[in-house]
Structure 1
Amino acid sequence: MDDVELRSEADTILAELVGAPRGEARLREDQWQAVAALVKERRRALVVQRTGWGKSAVYFVATALLRRRGCGPTVIVSPLLALMRNQVEAAARAGIQARTVNSANPEEWGTVYEEIERGATDVLLVSPERLNSVDFRDQVLPRLAATTGLLVVDEAHCISDWGHDFRPDYRRLRSMLTDLAPGVPVLATTATANARVTADVAEQLGTGAGEALVLRGPLERESLRLGVVRLPDAAHRLAWLAEHLDGLTGSGIIYTLTVAAAEEATAFLRQRGFPVASYTGRTENADRLQAETDLQENRVKALVATSALGMGFDKPDLGFVVHLGSPSSPIAYYQQVGRAGRGVEHADVLLLPGKEDEAIWRYFADTAFPPEEQVRQTLSALAGAGRPLSVPALEAVVDLRRTRLETMLKVLDVDGAVKRVKGGWTATGAEWLYDAERYAWVARQRAAEQQAMRDYVSTAGCRMEFLRRQLDDEGAAPCGRCDNCAGAWADSSVSRETLTGAVKELDRPGAEVEPRRMWPTGMPALGIDLKGRIPVKEQCSAGRALGRLSDIGWGNRLRPLLTGNAPDGPVPDDVLRAAVAVLADWSRSPGGWAPGAPESAKTPGGTGAPDATGRPVGVVAVPSTVRPQLVGSLARGIADIGRLPFLGSLSCTGPDGTHAVRRSNSAQRLAALSGSFTVPEDLADALAATAGPVLLVDDFTDSGWTLAVAARLLRRAGAGPVLPLVLAVAG
């Protein structure tokens, strides 16, 4: 078949895909070049094109052409569940049978694999996490590699650890690329790859198959009008949203940096009468589906979302994207704002930066590859175990938080130093080199991205040009539309009434503190005889905090008190009043202790709590060597206002008189805390004399293990239910 006939067939498929009459849809020349490379030349190609360019049209048209020529199914690796759902629907329009395998549909996996075996599926969309699961890697992946007709790597920047969104699970693609049958084409796509990432991904694609074809286009988005609105504080930003959301065309996305901020903004906007929905990592899958559908059908004005919505939400007429807080990377920012204006002539993109943004960047920035000593420690533990070790078991011997430990293991897996098997991980014995220079460069890259984002906010130059230059777009030029090119177009004013409402919303304190119910795995290996479920009579009850450090209300007010270099001092009056208000609300809530509360509700934390309680009979403080005045004055202030006896504090028994614990995994934290506290004799006497519920007061909780250890000691000393009250919860 010559090029003319192939092009005509491709355009017919495109018309079916987009629902256009035959002859009224035609691939652009750059899209056709990619299709021809895949179908006619069977090449490996990397397509770096702006969001909305039509990358999915390339791989669906190529799929249909290859399937008609007897090739096996297309495998698309994508991290985006929302995009998967959109693409399954799009493929069906062109008669392409597409199925997905991801964390949201495990009950369908068996049926999907059976359909692939009998050739009934044209496209299989797979999340990168599936690539690294033992069963999929060992049983399904080899069959796919042998029968795949086209491999598509969506969001291919995730392959490269030079990129802003590196995901170790993607590195498993290296082995699949090597195992593909000769002549199987491969397409990698992304909208956000600078020159360094492009070169890295192209090199990985070309493994064993010659040099990959790179098709890179301009990243200009002519429909987008970019702007920055600088406001004094979080209350002003919420008030601005409430007063200006109606003025933004159509429906859109409001991005926040944290789950807490998304929930706060959603609650406030709903109070003001806006139909909005929250979309975060805590949102249940069914609720996510409903939220996506509601936005697609314009039943909501906006989704208030974290990066959980990701890059893959496909709504061509999305009219705006607003960021309530600044992302830490201009490349990630470009990708998120690229959701807007794909199928309309005009869309507004606004950034509302906050003073708290950098504190949130720092909190979530602990993603650097661990030091060599910890990596070697992990390899040694695996080599000496004589059996697979689970991640919880490794936590007992490696001082890393679980997410960081898991990421490290995935990198080592791809590098061939460890292998994931049934029951955990094993060492392969293969030689492994620690690439300190590369890891240090990546860390510097992250710092440079943060500085670039600061520069984006403050620049007097064209904002679109700035973002395009961050992506090494050689054609970057002033857009003529942004607030710096054409003048400020977004009014920053807010009314006193709306601002008062926002302040009131953010001033409302209160967040739940979830108690620990199970001891970490592996404690006996550390010489600590704790395992399984914590006995009910030794458990800490559910508690309360003023707020989360990641929220935009009380988080902003508490961070200055609780940072490592903050001076110690008495608890501020407004913070003490808020703590008392939280206690009052807690007492009246289900699970509270107020007189007349339903007996069925009188369990701290509700269902599953240790035992029923009543009004606390006293206050106990967790000792603090960092902020003793803050914690002491908080505990005594609550006791005085609540007319409760202050029963005393636990004692620190560490070698230096402290109980300092680094931010690490659960096993290491508990090991550090074990034996760090005792109940002084006078406190034990007071507990025995009162024999009722006690409030346990501390400044901050992250893992919950300090509260769990302290509660266990108090319960063993005769206290009733232990009700923790802290100023802040991490996360």
Structure 2
Amino acid sequence: MDTVELRAEADAVLAELVGAPEGSARLREDQWRAVAALVEERRRALVVQRTGWGKSAVYFVATALLRRRGAGPTVIVSPLLALMRNQVDSAARAGIRARTINSANPEEWDAIHEEVERGETDVLLVSPERLNSVDFREHMLPRLAATTGLLVVDEAHCISDWGHDFRPDYRRLRAMLAALGPGVPVLATTATANARVTADVAEQLGTGAGEALVLRGPLDRESLRLGVVQLPDAAHRLAWLAEHLGELPGSGIVYTLTVAAAEEATAYLRQRGYEVASYTGRTENADRLQAEADLLENRVKALVATSALGMGFDKPDLGFVVHLGSPSSPIAYYQQVGRAGRGVKHADVLMLPGTEDEAIWRYFADTAFPPEAQVRQTLSTLADAGRPLSVPALEAAVDLRRTRLETMLKVLDVDGAVKRVKGGWESTGLPWVYDTERYAWVARQRAAEQQSMREYVRTSGCRMEFLRRQLDDEGAAPCGRCDNCAGSWIGSAVSAEALKGATKELDRPGVEVEPRRMWPTGMPALGIDLKGRIPAGEQCSTGRALGRLSDIGWGNRLRPLLAENTPDGPVPDDVLQAAVAVLADWARSAGGWAPNVPDASARPVGVVSVPSMTRPHLVDSLARGVATVGRLPYLGALTYTGPNGTHAARRSNSAQRLRALSGTFAVPDDLAAALADSPGPVLLVDDYTESGWTLAVAARLLRRAGSGQVLPLVLAAAG
């Protein structure tokens, strides 16, 4: 078949894919170049094109043509569950049978594997995490590599350490690439990669410029109108959103930086009469599906979402994207705003930056590759064990939080230093070099990206041009549409009534603090005889905090108060009154102080405080203030018995935190006597809880000393 005939066949498949009459759809020239490279030349191609350009059309059209020519199924590696669902539906229109393997459908995996082996599946969409599954890697992956007709790496910037969404699972694709048969084409696609990330992706995939066709197009989105609305505080931003959301075109997405902020904004907008839904990492899968469907069908005005919605939502007529807070990277920002205006002529993109943004960036910045000493300690622990160790077992030996430890192990696995096996992880014994220069460079690049976002907010030049230059788009030029080019099209004023409502919503204190129920794995190996479930008679009860440090209400007020450089002092009056209000609501809640606990609805008999080495005056005044207002006796404080009267309070994993706390507290004689004289529930007061282990250890001591239920009250909770 000559090139003209192949082009005609490709355009016919495209018409089926988009549901257009035959002969009315035609691939763009770069789309056709990519398809021809994959089907005719069986080459590798790297496509960097803006969202909405039609990257999925390239791999679906190429799949149809390759399958007709006897090729095996296409394997698409994609991190986006929402996009997977959209693409399965799109493929069906062109008669392409697509299935997906991801964390949301484990009950279907066996049947899908059988369908693939019988040749009944044209496209298999796989999440990158599957590549790190021992069973998938050892059994399914070799068969796929041997039979694959086309490998597609979607959102390929995720391969890069310098991309905004580095996922080490993606780097396993090197093994699959090496195992592909001769002449199997490979397509890598992304919408947001600057020159640095593009080069890194090419290196990770082995698709260097000498081997691959690189198609990089202009990133301007002519439908998008960018703007920044500067407002003084979180209440003004929430009020502004409530007053202007109805003016924004169609339906859209409101992005927040944290789960807490998404939940706060959703609750307030619903109070104001808007049909909105929350979409975060805490949202159950069924609720996510419903939220996606509601937005697709315009049954809601907006999804209020964190990056959990991210890149994968495909709604061509999305009319707006609003950010309550600035993302830390122009790559992340451009990726998210690129969801809007794909199938409409005009879409509004607005950022409402907050004073808390940079504090939130720092809070979530605990993802850098660990220092060499901690990496070497992990490798030594695995080598000395002589058997596989689970992550919980490693936590007892390595002072890293679980998510950071898991990410580090995946990188070491890809580098060949460790191997994931049934039962956990084991050392390969192979030499490994800590790439100090690379990790330092990555850290500098992330800092530079944060500075770019500060400049984006402040710039007086074209905003689209600014973003395009950040992505190394050589054709960047003023757009003529943004607020700096054409003037602001939307005001910043908010009414007194809206501001009052938003302030009231954000001023409402009180979130639950869930107690620890199980001791961490591996404590006996540290010489601490704690394991399994914490006995009911030694557990802490569900507590209360004024707010989370990550929310935009009380979080904004508590972060400065609890900052490391803030001098210690008495609890501010408004904070004390808020704590009293939380206690009053707690007492009136269903079931009283400790629901589902017999005889636990009784009023506390007194107040106990956790001693603080960094904020002793703050915690003591809070405890005594609560006791005074609540007309409760202040029974006293626990004492420190650890070395130098201190205990470790670093952001470490559960086993290491509990190890640092073990034997550190004691119940002094006068407090023990007070508990014996007044048996019953006690309030346990502290300033902050992150892991929950300080409260768990303190509660165990108090329960063993004769107290009733231990009811924690803290100013702030993490998360």
Question: Offset at 1:663?
Answer: 0.6
Tell me which residue corresponds to 2:648: 660
Question: Offset at 1:312?
Answer: 1.1
SS at match of 1:308: coil
Q: How far does the alpha carbon of each residue in 1:577-635 deviate from its partner, in whole angstroms, 9 at most, with x for none?
A: 10011011111112324xxxxxxxxxx2x45x697342110000000011011100100
1:623 to 608, 611, 617: 611
2:701 to 713, 719, 730: 713
Tell me which residue corresponds to 1:132: 132
User: Conserved in 2, the CA contact under 8 Å of 1:223 and 1:342?
Assistant: yes
Tell me which residue corresponds to 1:348: 348
One-letter amino acid of the structure 2 residue matched with residue 223 of structure 1: S
User: Conserved in 2, the CA contact under 8 Å of 1:611 and 1:721?
Assistant: no
Q: Residues 321 and 360 of structure 1: is their aligned pair in 2 closer, same or farther, counting only changes over 3 Å?
A: same
1:696 to 667, 684, 689: 684
2:638 to 638, 647, 650: 650
One-letter amino acid of the structure 1 residue matched with residue 649 of structure 2: V
Which deviates further from its counterpart, 373-382 or 584-593? Answer: 584-593
Take 1:418 and 1:294, find their aligned partners in 2: how far apart are those partners?
44
SS at match of 1:108: helix
Within-5 A mapping of 1:103-502:
103-206=103-206, 211-502=211-502
Q: Residues 407 and 369 of structure 1: is their aligned pair in 2 closer, same or farther, counting only changes over 3 Å?
A: same
One-letter amino acid of the structure 2 residue matched with residue 274 of structure 1: Y
User: Conserved in 1, the CA contact under 8 Å of 2:592 and 2:600?
Assistant: no
User: Conserved in 1, the CA contact under 8 Å of 2:63 and 2:150?
Assistant: yes
Tell me which residue corresponds to 2:668: 680
Take 1:212 and 1:402, find their aligned partners in 2: how far apart are those partners?
38
Take 1:209 and 1:197, find their aligned partners in 2: how far apart are those partners?
14
Take 1:624 and 1:521, find their aligned partners in 2: how far apart are those partners?
27
Take 2:704 and 2:689, find their aligned partners in 1: how far apart are those partners?
22
SS at match of 2:409: helix
Tell me which residue corresponds to 1:544: 544
Take 1:78 and 1:670, find their aligned partners in 2: how far apart are those partners?
38
**Which TM-score applies when normalising by structure 2?**
0.99
User: Conserved in 1, the CA contact under 8 Å of 2:549 and 2:558?
Assistant: yes
One-letter amino acid of the structure 2 residue matched with residue 615 of structure 1: R
Question: Offset at 1:197?
Answer: 1.2
Tell me which residue corresponds to 1:63: 63
Tell me which residue corresponds to 1:76: 76
Q: Residues 460 and 192 of structure 1: is their aligned pair in 2 closer, same or farther, counting only changes over 3 Å?
A: same
Take 2:424 and 2:104, find their aligned partners in 1: how far apart are those partners?
23
SS at match of 1:450: helix
State whether structure 2 residue 506 is matched by structure 1 residue 506: yes
SS at match of 1:574: helix
One-letter amino acid of the structure 1 residue matched with residue 510 of structure 2: G
Take 2:210 and 2:381, find their aligned partners in 1: how far apart are those partners?
39
User: Conserved in 2, the CA contact under 8 Å of 1:97 and 1:120?
Assistant: yes
Q: How far does the alpha carbon of each residue in 1:493-541 deviate from its partner, in whole angstroms, 9 at most, with x for none?
A: 1000010000000000010100000000011111111111001100001
Tell me which residue corresponds to 2:624: 636
One-letter amino acid of the structure 1 residue matched with residue 330 of structure 2: P
Question: Offset at 1:659?
Answer: 2.3
User: RMSD in angstroms over aligned alpha carbons?
Assistant: 1.1
User: Conserved in 1, the CA contact under 8 Å of 2:173 and 2:205?
Assistant: no
Take 2:598 and 2:254, find their aligned partners in 1: how far apart are those partners?
40
Q: Residues 477 and 209 of structure 1: is their aligned pair in 2 closer, same or farther, counting only changes over 3 Å?
A: closer
User: Conserved in 2, the CA contact under 8 Å of 1:541 and 1:610?
Assistant: no
Tell me which residue corresponds to 1:557: 557
User: Conserved in 2, the CA contact under 8 Å of 1:13 and 1:64?
Assistant: yes
Runs of 4+ in structure 1 deviating by more than 6 angstroms, as ranges, are: 207-210
Aligned-pair identity (%): 85
Question: Offset at 1:209?
Answer: 11
Take 2:481 and 2:440, find their aligned partners in 1: how far apart are those partners?
38
Q: How far does the alpha carbon of each residue in 1:545-585 deviate from its partner, in whole angstroms, 9 at most, with x for none?
A: 00000000000000011111111111011101100110111
Take 1:571 and 1:644, find their aligned partners in 2: how far apart are those partners?
18
SS at match of 2:643: coil
Take 1:427 and 1:671, find their aligned partners in 2: how far apart are those partners?
25
Tell me which residue corresponds to 2:589: 589
SS at match of 1:175: helix
User: Conserved in 2, the CA contact under 8 Å of 1:178 and 1:208?
Assistant: no
One-letter amino acid of the structure 2 residue matched with residue 24 of structure 1: S
Q: Residues 385 and 240 of structure 1: is their aligned pair in 2 closer, same or farther, counting only changes over 3 Å?
A: same
Take 1:622 and 1:530, find their aligned partners in 2: how far apart are those partners?
22
Q: How far does the alpha carbon of each residue in 1:441-463 deviate from its partner, in whole angstroms, 9 at most, with x for none?
A: 00000000000000000001100
User: Conserved in 1, the CA contact under 8 Å of 2:83 and 2:314?
Assistant: yes
Q: Residues 214 and 267 of structure 1: is their aligned pair in 2 closer, same or farther, counting only changes over 3 Å?
A: same
Q: How far does the alpha carbon of each residue in 1:639-664 deviate from its partner, in whole angstroms, 9 at most, with x for none?
A: 01111110000001121112232110
Take 1:104 and 1:253, find their aligned partners in 2: how far apart are those partners?
23
Tell me which residue corresponds to 1:599: none
User: Conserved in 2, the CA contact under 8 Å of 1:401 and 1:665?
Assistant: yes
One-letter amino acid of the structure 2 residue matched with residue 29 of structure 1: E
Q: How far does the alpha carbon of each residue in 1:656-707 deviate from its partner, in whole angstroms, 9 at most, with x for none?
A: 1122321100000000000110000000001111110000000000000000
Q: How far does the alpha carbon of each residue in 1:446-490 deviate from its partner, in whole angstroms, 9 at most, with x for none?
A: 000000000000001100000000100011000010001111112
Take 2:394 and 2:145, find their aligned partners in 1: how far apart are those partners?
32
Structure 2 residues not aligned, in runs of 5+: none
User: Conserved in 1, the CA contact under 8 Å of 2:171 and 2:204?
Assistant: no
Tell me which residue corresponds to 1:51: 51
Take 1:374 and 1:177, find their aligned partners in 2: how far apart are those partners?
31
SS at match of 1:125: strand
